[in-house]
Amino acid sequence: MASNRAESFGLIDEIGIVADNGSVGVVMAVSEKSEARVTSASTSPLCFIITTIGGRYFGFEAEYLLGVRTSENGEFLQDQVVQGIADQVINLAVRLNVATEGRWDRTEGVLLGAGKCRGYVLVEKVHGSLEVHPSQLLPLPPQFRGPERGWYRGMILFDQSVALVLNTAWVLEEQLGGVMAKTESEGTESIVALQGQVQSKSQAC
């Protein structure tokens, strides 16, 4: 699995080199060229929050962003409690197997939420939001195979490189599992409906 990830990230680096050489650099003029082609809701721009994890760019679906917090000491060691709600810290660097040694001097936490599922994702830096035309959300190359194809929605060009767009359902899968178990025991909410809140947008693309 780790070798497959390394091969996939190697391909991402090659795509970034192509972007750096200017072959696809025009894609970064997103708002000006995309808006002229938007004719209906089905072609409305997609918005992503671009971050860095392990020295690589990753995008989160902006519609699930609840906030951003910063830890000056570089660590979120415990679940974050805001207004009485405990949000579990999610270390995607471990799940993605990307190196972060020496990169956590100033840590930011991206708070994501979908329905009753919430979690703080550790990132090195939040670069801001990026709007793209749906056609600019690129599919994963065939080198991404196996379960990791469920981790991402696709790729977008950013800063003469490539950002992998994370699948929110996968990012919050542990939180989703906990909520599902609770609602199943209480019988207060349809589990299928809860899953749909997180997955429907991801499956659309």
- What is the block-wise mean pLDDT of the chain (205 residues), using blocks of 10 residues? 55 46 35 43 86 94 91 58 72 85 70 88 92 95 88 95 95 72 48 52 49
Query: How many domains, in total, are found in the chain?
Result: 1
The token duo for 175 is 């939180």
Q: How far apart are the first and last CA of the chain?
A: 25
* Distance separating alpha carbons of residues 164 and 151, to the nearest angstrom: 9
Give the single-character DSSP code of 45. Answer: P
- Residue range of the domain that includes 185: 2-204
Find, among 198, 59, 199, the residue nearest to 136 by Cα: 59
- To which H or E segment does residue 35 belong? helix 30-35
What was the pLDDT predicted at 174?
A: 81
What was the pLDDT predicted at 64?
A: 96
What was the pLDDT predicted at 205?
A: 46
* Distance separating alpha carbons of residues 175 and 87, to the nearest angstrom: 9
